[in-house]
């Protein structure tokens, strides 16, 4: 049962490489933010699949924490770009 | 949510309910198998969970328990078939985007604005989320005074199904009793 | 190979196919708003399908509940993050692509 997990892991790693083209060459700020968000999503899935390949189930806790932090990062950057500052007094 | 409206009895009930839910969540995630093996070690292991649950519930009890609304049980009972319909729409949405990527259907984006009759916070957010999960449309902005939505559609077909047919407005209005 | 292994492999394959489609859409579409359509929908569903495949392979243990929590959180948080980015771009004044324009 290791072979399907290995194939899926290699496919996801190569899509992360292809996505970084948009992160480098995207004209403007917003295309780069979208590419960073997509790379974060694929990194969560890659963590879970690698946890199955080397048979250590502790990687799923790391994936759960990283999902929360990546979501918070996207919302904070969107709020900063929209208003020009983070807290308004 | 106004702090001056909340009375003292309501505050204690909120803290206790939040603490129970947080502690049950913690037990589910970490100490479940320890409890099944040796009941003597249960208190030593779960003391960390009790401490964490107390700290979190004192910081966040205002947000977690909602203020009283009307007919909450009836709205909750009508909400669950709506979630089932929405999961089917997620599957249709992904098939639609896959067809547009591979060149079977065409890409012709436009921006639409329309008004609805929903006014409460929860109904507006649910409808906005459903527009994002339906094939071909994403919400851009919401104005809560007139219920006005600004939506970006990817072709003419999905745009017409929001303004002309109005199937989703009728469904959400049926769940929240057309607020 | 048992029957559960075959079903889990089918879910994993479908999830990987939708992730590849999302990445091709990110490169091919002509504008920021249409790229947001492609990634916000295809990426979320591909991730949920892969995690459901792992859950079917595992059975009924503690790990299944943790995987269910990751997928339920991302079902709510993925489209919400996409909508926040789109609102920031529209209010700041990014131009929208109509049919027949140059690629941007």
Tens of pLDDT, residues B117-149? 877 787 888 888 888 888 888 999 988 888 888
Average pLDDT over residues B83-99: 87
The answer to which of A74-83, B139-148, B164-173, C65-74 has the lowest mean pLDDT is B164-173
Q: Does C77 touch chain B (CB under 8 A)?
A: no
The answer to which of A53-62, B7-16, B75-84 has the lowest mean pLDDT is B7-16
Which DSSP string corresponds to B104-145? SS----EEEEEE-S--SHHHHHHHHHHHHHSTTEEEEEEETT
Query: Of A53-57, B164-168, C60-64, which one has max mean pLDDT?
Result: A53-57
What was the pLDDT predicted at B29? 77
In this prediction, residue B1 has a pLDDT band, given cuts at 50, 70 and 90, of very low
Asked if C86 contacts C33 with a C-beta cutoff of 8 angstroms, the reply is: yes
Q: Are the beta carbons of C35 and A34 separated by less than 8 Å?
A: yes
pLDDT over threshold 60, residue A29: yes
What was the pLDDT predicted at C84? 92
- Distance from C-alpha of B140 to C-alpha of A78, rounded to nearest angstrom: 13
Question: Residue C19: which of A5, A12, A31 has the nearest Cβ?
Answer: A12
pLDDT over threshold 70, residue B33: no
Is the pLDDT higher at C23 or at B7?
C23
Asked if A28 contacts A37 with a C-beta cutoff of 8 angstroms, the reply is: no
Buried b (16+ CB within 10 A) or exposed e, B56-77: bbeeebeeebeeeeeeeeeeee
For chain C, list residues whose CB is within 8 angstroms of any CB belonging to chain A: 5, 8-9, 12-13, 15-16, 19-20, 22-23, 26-27, 32, 35-36, 39, 43-44, 47, 50-51, 54, 57, 63, 66-67, 69-70, 73-74, 77-78, 80-82, 84-85, 87-89, 91-92, 94, 104
Q: Does A81 touch chain C (CB under 8 A)?
A: yes
| Residues contacting B116, CB < 8 A, separation 6+ | B127, B147, B148, B149, B169
C66 to chain A: which residues are within 8 Å by CB? Answer: 60-61, 64
C37 to chain B: which residues are within 8 Å by CB? Answer: 97, 136, 138, 154
* CA-to-CA separations, B179 to B67, B125, B142, C34, in angstroms, rounded: 17, 13, 16, 32
The position carrying tokens 């001056």 is B4
What was the pLDDT predicted at C46? 92
pLDDT over threshold 70, residue A79: yes
Is the pLDDT higher at A79 or at B119?
A79
Q: What percent of chain C has pLDDT over 90?
A: 51
What was the pLDDT predicted at B71? 66
* CA-to-CA separations, B143 to B125, B138, B146, B150, in angstroms, rounded: 11, 15, 6, 9
ipTM reported for the complex, 2 dp: 0.87
Nearest to A47 by CA among A67, A17, A75: A67
Nearest to B14 by CA among B74, B62, B84, B79: B62
What was the pLDDT predicted at B11? 78
Residues of chain C numbered 26-45 and touching chain B (CB < 8 Å): 28-31, 33-34, 36-38, 40-42, 44-45
What was the pLDDT predicted at C102? 81
The answer to which of B12-26, C44-58, C85-99 has the lowest mean pLDDT is B12-26
The position carrying tokens 């892991």 is A9
Strand order in the sheet with B137-143: B110-115, B148-153, B137-143
The answer to which of A10-14, B39-43, B102-106, C19-23 has the lowest mean pLDDT is B39-43
Average pLDDT over residues B19-39: 74
A49 to chain C: which residues are within 8 Å by CB? Answer: 50, 54
Q: Tally C-beta pairs within 8 A across A and C.
A: 116
Residue B96: exposure state from Cβ atoms within 10 A (0-12, 13-18, ≥19): buried
- Chain C residue nearest residue A79, CA to CA: C88
CA atoms within 13 A on the CB side of C69: 17
C80 to chain A: which residues are within 8 Å by CB? Answer: 71, 75
Give the chains touching A; criterion: ≥3 Cβ pairs < 8 Å.
C
Pair of tokens at residue B87? 């999961």
pLDDT over threshold 90, residue C51: yes
pLDDT over threshold 60, residue B53: yes
Average pLDDT over residues B2-13: 62
For chain B, list residues whose CB is within 8 angstroms of any CB belonging to chain C: 28-29, 32-33, 90-91, 93-94, 97-98, 100-102, 107-111, 128-129, 132-133, 136, 138-141, 150, 152, 154
Nearest to C33 by CA among C66, C69, C74, C82: C82
Q: Are the beta carbons of A8 and C16 separated by less than 8 Å?
A: yes
In this prediction, residue C6 has a pLDDT band, given cuts at 50, 70 and 90, of very high
A27 to chain C: which residues are within 8 Å by CB? Answer: 104
B29 to chain C: which residues are within 8 Å by CB? Answer: 65-66
């Amino acid at each position: 049962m290791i072979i399907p997990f290995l194939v899926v892991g290699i496919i996801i790693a190569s899509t992360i490489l292809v996505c970084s083209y948009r992160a480098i060459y995207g004209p403007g700020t917003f295309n780069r933010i979208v590419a960073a968000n997509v790379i974060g999503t694929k990194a969560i899935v890659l963590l879970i699949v690698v946890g199955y390949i080397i048979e250590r189930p502790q990687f799923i806790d790391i994936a759960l924490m990283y999902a929360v932090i990546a979501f918070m990062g996207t919302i904070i950057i969107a709020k900063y770009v929209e208003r020009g500052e983070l807290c308004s007094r | 949510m106004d702090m001056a409206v909340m009375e003292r009895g309501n505050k204690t009930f909120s803290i206790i309910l939040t603490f129970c839910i947080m502690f049950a969540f913690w037990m589910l995630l970490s100490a479940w198998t320890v409890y099944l093996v040796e009941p003597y070690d249960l208190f030593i292991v779960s003391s960390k969970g009790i401490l964490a649950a107390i700290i979190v519930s004192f910081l966040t009890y205002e947000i977690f328990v909602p203020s009283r609304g009307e007919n909450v049980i009836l709205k909750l009972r009508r909400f669950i078939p709506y979630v089932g319909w929405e999961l089917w729409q997620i599957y249709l949405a992904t098939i639609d985007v896959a067809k547009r990527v591979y060149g079977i259907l065409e890409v012709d984006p436009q921006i639409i604005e329309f008004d609805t009759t929903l006014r409460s916070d929860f109904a507006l957010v649910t409808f906005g989320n459903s527009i994002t999960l339906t094939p071909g449309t994403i919400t851009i902005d919401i104005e809560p005074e007139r219920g006005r939505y600004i939506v970006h559609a990817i072709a003419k077909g999905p745009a017409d199904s929001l303004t002309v047919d109005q199937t989703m407005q009728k469904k959400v209005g049926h769940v929240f009793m057309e607020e | 190979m048992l029957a559960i292994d075959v079903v889990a492999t089918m879910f994993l394959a479908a999830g990987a196919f939708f992730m590849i489609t999302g990445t091709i859409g990110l490169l091919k579409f002509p504008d920021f708003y249409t790229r947001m359509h492609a990634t916000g929908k295809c990426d979320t569903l591909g991730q949920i399908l892969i995690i459901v495949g792992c859950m079917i392979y595992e059975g009924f243990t503690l790990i299944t509940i943790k995987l269910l929590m990751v997928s339920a959180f991302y079902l709510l948080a993925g489209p919400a993050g996409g909508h926040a980015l789109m609102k920031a771009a529209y209010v700041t004044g990014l131009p929208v692509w109509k049919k027949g324009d140059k690629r941007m």
